[in-house]
Amino acid sequence: MIKIESKKKEKEKGGPEEIEICFICHKKFNINADDDSYYRQGKYPLCAYCAEFYGFYR
């Protein structure tokens, strides 16, 4: 089996991709992407969509 990974090079932060699973919607996303994704309370990965949707305080 061959894993095909999309190599997006849209907005590079310089760091490698770090795939996390959003603790709300369980979607895989790159926490290092230059978007609104971040670690909630420093440990719960939150994707950009949920970060915007729920408007959590950082």
29-37, long-range: CB within 8 Å, 24+ apart, which pairs? 35/11
Closest to Zn ion by CB, 14 or 42: 42
Q: Please, are residues 28 and 50 in contact by the beta-carbon 8 Å criterion?
A: no
Tell me the site size for Zn ion, rule CB under 5 A: 5
Contact pattern for Zn ion over residues 1 through 40, marking x by CB under 5 A: ---------------------x-xx---------------
CA distance 40 to 48: 12
User: Which chain residues interact with Zn ion by CB under 5 A?
Assistant: 22, 24-25, 47, 50
